[in-house]
Amino acid sequence: AQSVTQLGSHVSVSEGALVLLRCNYSSSVPPYLFWYVQYPNQGLQLLLKYTTGATLVKGINGFEAEFKKSETSFHLTKPSAHMSDAAEYFCAVSDPLGGGKLIFGQGTELSVKP
Amino acid sequence: ETGVTQSPTHLIKTRGQQVTLRCSSQSGHNTVSWYQQALGQGPQFIFQYYREEENGRGNFPPRFSGLQFPNYSSELNVNALELDDSALYLCASSSTGVDEKLFFGSGTQLSVL
C-alpha cells in the first residue's frame, strides 16, 4: 500500500525567504511522485512530478523537488518566497502501473509574510 | 485554465437525497478520475473511468457511482446522502500513457444538511 506524510500542516515564511515543504512517502514499488498547489476556491495545479531519471526535478514558478530514495522523501523547495506563493500544497504518490490513481498527503498551507 | 469544467460549482442537499455532479474533460482526454476532498484534508480517489468503463475504485461505498459518456464527459452520482459526504468533489481528466498528467477542474462544493 502507498501513503504520503506531509510534515507540518502550516508553514509560514517571510517574503524572500527559503520555502521548504516536507513530504515522505511509503510505497512497495518505485513510485511516481507529484507536488500540486491549490489556491482558494480552485482545483489542483501540477507544480512538478518525478517519474524516472534525474532525481532533482524543476517545476513551475521556481519550485523544485528532489527524490531521495534512501530517505523516502520528496521535499519541495523554492529559494525565495513570493506573496503569490501563499496557497495549499499537496504531495502525492502513484503506482506507475496503477492507472493514474493518486494518493495525496494531508496538505501544507503556506503563508508568506511581507 | 485547465479545460476541465465542473457543474454546479456549489450545491446544497439534505440527508438522504441523491445528487449528480458533472464534469467535461479537456479535449483529447479519454480518462476521467473523481476525487473527494473533505475540509482540511487531501483529495481521496473515488474512481476512474476510461472509455466509458470503470477502471479502478477507491474505498468508497456503492452508493457512489459514475458514468462516462462517448464524448468522455462524466457524472458522479451519490445516493442516500450522508452528512459526511459534505466535501469538495474534484474531477480530473487525462490521456492514457506512461507519463499521463492529470488536469483538475475547480470542483463542486457539496454541502449536506
Collect the ranges in chain A with pLDDT lower than 50.
Answer: none
Residues B2 and B26 sit within 8 Å (Cβ to Cβ): yes
Q: How confident is the model at residue B102 (pLDDT cuts 50, 70, 90)?
A: confident
Chain segment B29-49, per-residue pLDDT in tens: 888 999 999 998 999 999 999
From B41, which residue of chain A is nearest by alpha-carbon distance?
A: A106
Cβ-based neighbours of A54, under 8 Å, separated by 6 or more: none
| pLDDT at position B98 over 50 | no
Mean pLDDT of chain A: 92
Average pLDDT of the residues in B46-67 = 92
Closest CA to B69 of B43, B44, B51: B51
Residue with the three cell numbers 507529484: A34
The nearest CA of chain B is from the CA of A10 a distance in Å of 11
Chain segment B70-93, per-residue pLDDT in tens: 988 999 999 999 999 999 999 999
Q: In whole angstroms, what is the distance from residue B8 CA to residue B39 CA?
A: 18
From A49, which residue of chain B is nearest by alpha-carbon distance?
A: B101
B68 touches chain A (CB under 8 A): no
Mean pLDDT of chain B: 91
